[in-house]
Amino acid sequence: MNIKLDRSLADLRSWHPDECGLAMALDAIGPRSSMLILREALLYGTRRFELFVERVGVTEAVASARLKQLTEAGLLARRPYKEPGSRTRYEYVPTDKGRDLTPVVLALLQWGAKHLQPEGAPLAVVDDASEQPVRVGFVAQDGTERTSEELRIRPTEHARRAARASRAARAARAAARGGAARESAESAGEDSGGGKG
């Protein structure tokens, strides 16, 4: 069953997800290799360029482009390091913004393990203290877990304000067009009336 939609969103023809956070996130993250770089940085602690190349299985050019994109998006930060006898190099560490993607990466990892690895996944995410498996889920503010059937998508107050402002702007434009049409008609009447005298 799907997540419920708020009554105001029930008619899918009446609105579009113009400011969709998912679309914006995908634009920021980029292609598959970017997600694999994030997997390495967030889950496995990979930091160095050559390890990203090796572990993700991409060329240096691709790794360089993806690391640049993820850095510009604010998901990773470049940090200089220098080993004795060599030049300064850079490692890539997750930012707070990047670390907030950890549940997303884990959810994809767990979905792949459940649906695409029927014989069993090679890795499991467990609680460090108890060794019990953990999974990504829907958790309410009170800490209780929810199912998707217990969720509802509704417009935020920001979206409601924007919709009201948009309706007001359309009404103002319509009123202005109506007023201009009346003035034009009145002007045409005066012009034709003035020519008879």
pLDDT in tens, 3-14: 899 998 989 998
Q: What percent of the chain has pLDDT over 70?
A: 90
Per-residue pLDDT tens over the stretch 79-137: 999 889 999 999 999 999 999 999 999 999 999 999 999 898 999 999 999 999 999 99
| Alpha-carbon gap, residue 115 to 135, rounded angstroms | 14
Backbone φ and ψ of 53, nearest 5°: -55, -50
Give the position of tokens 């482009």: 65
Alpha-carbon distances, residue 116 vs 8, 110, 155 (angstroms):
37, 10, 34
Give the predicted TM-score (pTM) of the model: 0.76
Per-residue pLDDT tens over the stretch 126-135: 999 999 999 9
**Token pair for 118:** 């029927």
Query: Do residues 109 and 125 touch, judged by C-beta distance below 8 A?
Result: yes
pLDDT at residue 145 above 70? yes
